[in-house]
Amino acid sequence: MDLFQLLISLIVVGLVCYLLWWLIAYVGLPEPFNKVARVIIALFAVLFLLGVLTGNVSMPVFKLR
C-alpha cells in the first residue's frame, strides 16, 4: 500500500469516527445506548488500526494503472 493512500485512509476513517463520536454527544442518547454506541465506534477504530498495522486492510483511494 502506498504511503499516501495509507495516510488518506487513516485521515478519512479518523474523521468519520470523530464525526460519529461528536454526533452521539450532540444528540444526547440515553446512558446505556450512549455507552454502547461509543464502544462500537471505538472497537471499529481499534480493529481498523490493527488491520492497517498488520497489512490486512487495503483501501485504495486512487487506482493507478
Please indicate, yes or no, if residue 64 is contained in any of the structural domains. no
Q: Is residue 63 part of a domain?
A: no
- Are the beta carbons of 5 and 62 closer than 8 angstroms? yes
Grid coordinates in use for 1?
500500500
User: Is 38 part of any domain?
Assistant: yes
**Given this model, what pLDDT does residue 38 score?**
95
The pLDDT of residue 65 is 47
What is the per-residue pLDDT across 8-63, written as a single tens digit (0 to 9) for each?
Answer: 888 999 999 999 999 999 998 899 999 999 999 999 999 888 888 887 766 555 55
What is the span of the domain harbouring residue 33? 3-54
Q: Does 13 reside within a domain? A: yes
Residue 59 maps to a domain = no
Domain count, the chain: 1
What CA–CA distance (Å, rounded) separates 5 from 13?
12
* Assigned domain for 32 exists: yes
Report yes or no on 46 lying in a domain. yes
